[in-house]
């Protein structure tokens, strides 16, 4: 378990609750930003060192000092020189870790997204942000998950399976991306009730307004206008996107191994999801046409690159923008 950062150790002996999510796009950043706007500290988000980003002014009174605002595409609440009078009763620990890393059992929020959409969103992000990315969806889901000896598909499956077993013995709340998209206010209030965090209606409304997708879009639009946007990180992700984006081939790539997970989280089974999707034969051709935009048929290396595995790395100043590149 990660220790409390030194900068806040005088006020906080330990985190009071955890928020865990898979390391694929699922919307957990929205919840982190809402909590910050409600003056709940989010120390060391997703394992990153933050001691040099904060200055303690007085007990529970902090100022954000990172001039470059490395979280601006994820946590817009963290603005240079903004001051916070943080709660003395709560401290959030946002993680992508596996259960074995959790030595203490405390209230835990498990933030998830339908695995089909999480995989699709990550693949699409890589296509948009890396000119050297040549993997089809099929190649991507079966490519190595970073430096680990499992694929992206296997990582998502094993992570959810192991957490399901762990959570059966823990005090927890499951929050789905789809619930947040359907009713952000109700979803946030459920989290606050579970964590016993008190907030007035006006405070909740303000937190929601400051954490809306439109805020992140404005940030990225401004960066793009200034020529400073290294990669686009935020898209207007929709709930159950696979229903409009998946082809039969894509469903087959993910497979039916997730059915127990789908049942646990309240998602459609493999068979039902295929029937809900746009089942048209031209779909696979649509994917091929998309790939031709990034890898023209005339490119002599294109075919070889598509057949090769891909490797994914973290890079750049944007804290956890994930870049994909084919070897």
Mean pLDDT to the nearest integer, 123-152: 89
Predicted confidence (pLDDT) per residue in 264-313, tens digit: 999 999 999 998 876 443 444 444 444 443 444 444 444 343 333 344 33
Q: Residue 316: is its pLDDT beyond 50?
A: no
Q: Three-state DSSP class for 176?
A: strand
Q: Do the beta carbons of residue 64 and residue 79 sit within 8 Å? A: yes
Fold of 6-326: Rossmann fold (3.40.50)
Strands (E), 106-195: 108-112, 172-176
DSSP string, 112-155: E--HHHHHHHHHHHHHHH-TT----HHHHHTSB-TTSSSBHHHH
Predicted confidence (pLDDT) per residue in 150-189, tens digit: 999 999 999 999 999 999 888 899 999 999 999 999 999 9
- Which tokens is 56 given? 């303690």
* Bridge partner list, 64: 54
What does residue 55 show for φ and ψ, rounded to 5 degrees? -125, 130
Predicted confidence (pLDDT) per residue in 245-260, tens digit: 999 999 999 999 999 9
Query: What is the C-alpha separation between 87 and 14, in angstroms, rounded?
Result: 13
Other Cβ atoms less than 10 A from the Cβ of 182: the count is 11
Q: Output DSSP code: residue 53.
A: G
User: How many C-alpha atoms does 216 have within 13 Å on its Cβ side?
Assistant: 18
Tell me, what's the pLDDT at 47? 85
Q: Is the pTM of this model over 0.75?
A: yes
């Amino acid at each position: 378990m990660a220790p409390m950062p030194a900068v806040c150790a005088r006020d906080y002996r330990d985190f009071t609750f955890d928020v865990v999510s898979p390391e694929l796009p699922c919307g957990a950043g929205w919840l982190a930003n809402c909590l910050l706007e409600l003056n709940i500290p989010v120390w060391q988000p997703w394992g990153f060192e933050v001691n040099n980003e904060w200055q303690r002014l007085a007990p529970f009174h902090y100022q954000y000092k990172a001039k470059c605002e490395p979280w601006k595409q994820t946590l817009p609440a963290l603005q240079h020189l903004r001051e916070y009078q943080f709660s003395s009763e709560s401290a959030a620990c946002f993680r992508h870790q596996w259960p074995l890393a959790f030595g203490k059992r405390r209230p835990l929020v498990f933030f998830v997204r339908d695995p089909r959409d999480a995989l699709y969103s990550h693949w699409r992000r890589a296509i948009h942000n890396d000119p050297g990315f040549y993997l089809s969806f099929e190649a991507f889901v079966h490519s190595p998950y970073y430096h680990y000896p499992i694929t992206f598909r296997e990582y998502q499956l094993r992570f959810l399976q192991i957490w399901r077993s762990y959570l059966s013995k823990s005090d927890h709340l499951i929050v789905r991306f789809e619930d947040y998209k359907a009713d952000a206010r109700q979803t946030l209030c459920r989290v606050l009730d579970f964590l016993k965090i008190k907030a007035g209606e006006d405070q909740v409304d303000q937190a929601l307004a400051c954490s809306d997708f439109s805020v992140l879009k404005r940030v990225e639009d401004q960066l793009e206008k200034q020529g400073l946007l290294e990669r686009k990180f935020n898209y207007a992700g929709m709930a159950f996107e696979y229903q409009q984006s998946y082809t039969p081939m894509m469903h087959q790539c993910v497979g039916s191994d997730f059915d127990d997970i789908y049942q646990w989280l309240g998602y459609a089974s493999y068979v039902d999801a295929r029937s809900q999707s746009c089942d048209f034969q031209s779909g696979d051709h649509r994917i091929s046409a998309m790939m031709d935009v990034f890898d023209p048929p005339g490119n002599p290396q294109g075919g070889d690159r598509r057949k090769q595995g891909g490797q994914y790395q973290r890079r750049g100043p944007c804290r956890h923008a994930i870049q994909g590149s084919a070897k």
